[in-house]
Structure 1
Amino acid sequence: MAILQVIVASTRPGRIGLPIATWFAQAAAEHGPFDVELVDLAEYALPLFDEPNHPRLRQYTKEHTLRWSETISRGDAFVIVHPEYNYSFNATIKNAIDYLHKEWADKPVAFVSYGGVSAGLRATQALKQVVTTLRMVPIFEAVPIPFAGQFLNDEGEFVPNELVAAGVGPVVNELARLDSVLSQLRK
């Protein structure tokens, strides 16, 4: 079965990205048709890009890069769960993306964004430019979450309303549809 990786882009203390990603990963797994893996950038602690060679060459010298490459290579499709910082995406996700090259290619990607009134949509638009450069295929379907903090319960779990929850199925279905085609390019 294909693997959908749900990537938690925020690493800052007090982040709400982890509960959002945990919710999405569980909902995606229940929906099918992927095996779902939660990938938390905080667990990788990637320093600012520190490899001496261009990622295109895949001549990695650092253990953290080898581990990151192995993780992303295993994925067939991605959902990036990210905040919006100052009308764009956060530095942590850009750094994580920049570490690799071929590992991302010919794989579909979707976005679960969160923020204030804009729901992180400006950051998603900026990220789409980055991922297409690496031959990832961003989909139209997304889950934008405005004022996301309102959906955290007393235990810190993300509990979406019906409108937000309804976005999971279309995202997962479109990722699966594209993966069925793009997987042929990766062979």
Structure 2
Amino acid sequence: MKFRKLLLLCSLLTNSTFALNQGFTLGDKPINAACVAMLNSNGADMPFIRSLDMNICQTSNAGFAKVTEKDGAYYFDREEGQGWYEYKVIGKTPNGIFVVDTHENGGGTLTSNDLLLLKLEPGKNVVYDDSKKKVMDIVELKMLGYVQGGDRCTGSFKTATLNGYDLVLEQYQGNNAIDCAKTKSFHIDLSKMY
């Protein structure tokens, strides 16, 4: 009887993580926020990493961070003085594109916000050891694109919702980081990305 209760509890926890994250998981674990951060742009650059092997990144040293979940967002602190990073899944299109709301702070006053358009897809990795070839099945996290945001009230997103392929956004248009009075609203049709 105790075993069944434990099994039911584990099932509920796994299913709630899956539902909370819209399936943005590898196995039964949410995608590691440190891995998502590798795909994100920062204040000085445009995104330049377009794909990650999640079988490796999910538990790698490069992706090592103490990630916590709060109100559906996955968060981690970087090394002291290096800021923090978080993501929250807004939704998933019918063809599997995840809209992921990201916030990044590098340790100063800038807190940037972008929306990443990501997809989890099966892939292959080929490794040669001398002349021996090994083909491994992997799960790739691919960045298909992004919606450029900004710093708090100068470009970050006040609201973001996804209805099927229709991404509905309200974006701050202030003149400084605390001028939150002005916004603009717009739609993006994600069925016509390519």
TM-score category, normalised to shorter length: under 0.3
Larger radius of gyration: 2
Structure number with higher strand proportion: 2
Bigger relative CO (Cα 8 Å, ≥ 6 apart): 1
TM-score, structure 1 length as denominator?
0.25
TM-score, structure 2 as length reference: 0.24
Question: 1 or 2, which has the higher helix percentage?
Answer: 1
